[in-house]
Amino acid sequence: MSEGMTKTITIKPNNDSSSPEISIEQTIALPPQPTETGTTTSITEILGVKIDTGLSWYWEGSIIILALALIYVGKKAIDNRLFRQRKSVK
């Protein structure tokens, strides 16, 4: 058994009848949940990027999409400048 799991089987003889009294108890411990006093925070993961701002998931998603859009536009701008320089050299 793994850590956090317990199983107890108890067999007691029962003098009043021919069958014994059997009780089985099993407990599974859940992993501890992080808690903060007064606030509920969640970690949003979009495309492998984790972000924890304390905002709701759609605001966190919007931040990630905005960052990706800025990276894409920046890459396109750099590519256009490089291709213009290569064309002007020829």
Residue 39 has pLDDT above 70, yes or no: no
Q: What is the pTM of this model?
A: 0.42
Domain ranges in the chain? 5-29+40-89
Could you give phi then psi for residue 61, rounded to 5 degrees?
Answer: -60, -40
Tokens of 71: 């990276």
Which of the given ranges, 10-19, 39-48, 58-67, has the highest pLDDT on average? 58-67
Which of residues 78 and 84 earns the better pLDDT score?
A: 78
Residue 53 has pLDDT above 50, yes or no: yes
Strands 49-51 and 5-12: unpaired
Min mean pLDDT across 11-15, 18-22, 35-39, 43-47 is at: 35-39
Residue 38 has pLDDT above 70, yes or no: no
Q: Left, alpha or beta for 48 (phi > 0: left; psi -120 to 50: alpha)?
A: left
